[in-house]
Amino acid sequence: MICKSFKTFIFKAALYLGLFIFSFVLQDMLGQNINPCPTMDSEYYQAIAQRLNEGKGFTESFIWQHLKKYDNLEHPTDYWMPLGSLIIAFFQRFFGMRSAIAFNYLIWSLCAVLIFRIVKKKVSGELLGFLAFLIFSSAGKFSYYLSTLDNIAYYSLFGLIFFQTLKSQKPSAVIINGISSGLLALTRAEGVFFTAFAVLHKVFYGNIKITILSIFCICLVFCPWLIRNQILLGQPFPTTQKSYFLQNYNDMFNPYSPTVAENFQKLGFTTFAKKFLRTASIGNMEMFVIPMFLLFFPIYFLGAFKVGEKGTLFLQMFFIFILSFFFPAQCERGTIFHLSSAFFGQMLVISFQGIAFFLPKTFSNMNKLVFFTTFFLITSWILFFTVIGNQTSQLQNSMNFRSLSEFSKELKAGLVPPVASFDPIAIYLSTGFPGVVIPIPSTEDRFLNVVKEFKCRSFLWDTLYHSWDDAYAKALGWKVTASFSNLVILKP
């Protein structure tokens, strides 16, 4: 009996290890030649991780947005949540620069194995479990971000743990659920809604002891950051009210952008309604259609209604409504897509429960040739979709974003801090120089006021963001001292 149990244990361990290695290698292959900091988000996480490892804490030496008034270039962080940078800092400090990417693969592969185990247990079928594993492992459009310093991987892990422990009334599960929801809140700002949902669920479906335990665990994880904010910023939840109802994403970088009331007034009800509907449609695509590989989202909806998981669907619709209503410009730039990673694992679990419910006998009675043909076509599609999504994301980011690390030597030699630029985070990463973001030039040339206010001593103009005109140099009264690769350096 012991021998048989031991053999079963060895077999399962070998199976799980094999699945883990397969998923890890797959993501490593898909992630070849991807820049680890291809977006502003990933640049920011890296910049703060670098400052943490330098002993400077959660501070910025650059102003990357003008959603609030800053008196100094160096100030405490007050917009992005801390956990992503903290994880990156830890791994880069002890295991090297690329280790944070490997950690992403490790976390994703762990989630893939968990998906296999959960689906296999819920539907009593190894083949369906393996198919769910393959879908999760390939990752679709998420795959690209796994090879960057974005927080997709651990947001997905925390989300999977959150939903798998949400309904349990066992103290151990409540503790894990509280911790996971707290970690979701520390990873992304909208994660705080997970903590509220967790508490409300315990209030309605648990008892007073369970509710108190849940709140205690959430506070244990989340409150240290709120206390830090209260001490350094004067409030536990820093407000950037100008981020509401933005008409244009670039208004974040313009100190003269309209206020919330002005934005709402300018839009008017009809225009606002149209913008909301457009943003909500994008949100539905990024929450349901794209994560489910375009084809599988109807199965998820059917599964959610049939297996009693309407709460997950409700929470997703709630997020789409709230974010599309208050943050339309940000949602058009991928906020909801990033959020959907927290739901991805649970969506697959629900989808396969739905398949097992609607087609309980189909798979067992299916002709082997038909079965393997279907399996091959599905696998081919998810891999094709993943590769295309990878390439599309690379192309989009290369067109809209520029990494300056390859020009580090030239920039250090040509610039003098503080530096005015369209991307002060990239300047900081490539040179270590402090700086401030300037708005896209308007007819009033308001960017001049930003340059003067922060006593900038050099200016890096990047034609990727705005075309160059000699009139800008004349307006500043500065001269061009260097230019290379569509970058122009100006000094007094």
pLDDT, tens digit (0-9, with 9 covering 90-100), for 61-117: 999 988 888 888 999 998 889 999 999 999 999 998 889 999 999 999 999 999 999
Instruction: Give pLDDT tens digits for 401-418.
Output: 666 777 888 888 888 899
**Span 117-138, average pLDDT:** 89
When pLDDT is cut at 50, 70 and 90, the band that residue 40 belongs to is: confident
State whether 57 and 104 are in the same domain: yes
**Final residue belonging to a domain, choices 349, 373, 397:** 373
State whether 410 and 322 are in the same domain: no
Instruction: Give pLDDT tens digits for 145-198.
Output: 999 999 999 999 999 999 999 999 999 999 999 999 999 999 999 999 999 999
Contact 137, 112 (CB under 8 A): yes
Q: What percent of the chain has pLDDT over 90?
A: 48
State whether 330 and 417 are in the same domain: no
Residue 307 lies in a domain: yes
Burial classification of residue 204, based on how many CB atoms lie within 10 Å of its CB (0-12 exposed, 13-18 middle, 19 or more buried): exposed
Confidence at residue 295, expressed as pLDDT on a 0 to 100 scale: 82
Residue 382 lies in a domain: no
Contact 142, 27 (CB under 8 A): no
Structurally, the chain folds into a number of domains equal to: 2
State whether 369 and 415 are in the same domain: no
**Span 186-213, average pLDDT:** 92
Integer CA distances (angstroms), 460 to 317, 403, 483, in order? 42, 13, 9
Taking 80 as the threshold, does the pLDDT of residue 357 lie above it?
Answer: no
**What pTM, to 2 d.p., does this model score?**
0.92
State whether 218 and 308 are in the same domain: yes
Integer CA distances (angstroms), 244 to 68, 229, 330, in order? 12, 21, 9
State whether 329 and 454 are in the same domain: no
State whether 121 and 260 are in the same domain: yes
**Span 268-285, average pLDDT:** 86
Tokens 């690329």, residue? 98
Confidence at residue 283, expressed as pLDDT on a 0 to 100 scale: 92
State whether 343 and 421 are in the same domain: no
Strand 487-491 relative to strand 458-462: parallel, antiparallel, unpaired? antiparallel
Confidence at residue 32, expressed as pLDDT on a 0 to 100 scale: 86
State whether 325 and 422 are in the same domain: no
**Final residue belonging to a domain, choices 318, 350, 373:** 373
State whether 437 and 354 are in the same domain: no
Q: In degrees, to the nearest 5, what angle opens at C-alpha 17 toward C-alphas 16 and 19?
A: 65
Confidence at residue 125, expressed as pLDDT on a 0 to 100 scale: 74
Residue type, 439: P
Residue 187 lies in a domain: yes
**Final residue belonging to a domain, choices 357, 373, 389:** 373
Q: In DSSP terms, which residues pair with 377 in a beta bridge? A: none
294: left (phi over 0), alpha (psi -120 to 50) or beta: left
Instruction: Give pLDDT tens digits for 215-241.
Output: 999 999 999 999 999 999 888 887 666
When pLDDT is cut at 50, 70 and 90, the band that residue 398 belongs to is: confident
Other C-beta atoms closer than 10 Å to the C-beta of 332 total 19
In which domain, by residue range, is 95 found? 2-373
Residue 392 lies in a domain: no
Residue 278 lies in a domain: yes
Residue 50 lies in a domain: yes
State whether 57 and 170 are in the same domain: yes
Residue 169 lies in a domain: yes
Q: Which residues are CB-contacts of 80 (< 8 A; sequence separation ≥ 6)?
A: 41, 44, 45, 48, 189
Strand 435-437 relative to strand 62-63: parallel, antiparallel, unpaired? parallel
When pLDDT is cut at 50, 70 and 90, the band that residue 447 belongs to is: confident
State whether 56 and 178 are in the same domain: yes
Burial classification of residue 285, based on how many CB atoms lie within 10 Å of its CB (0-12 exposed, 13-18 middle, 19 or more buried): middle
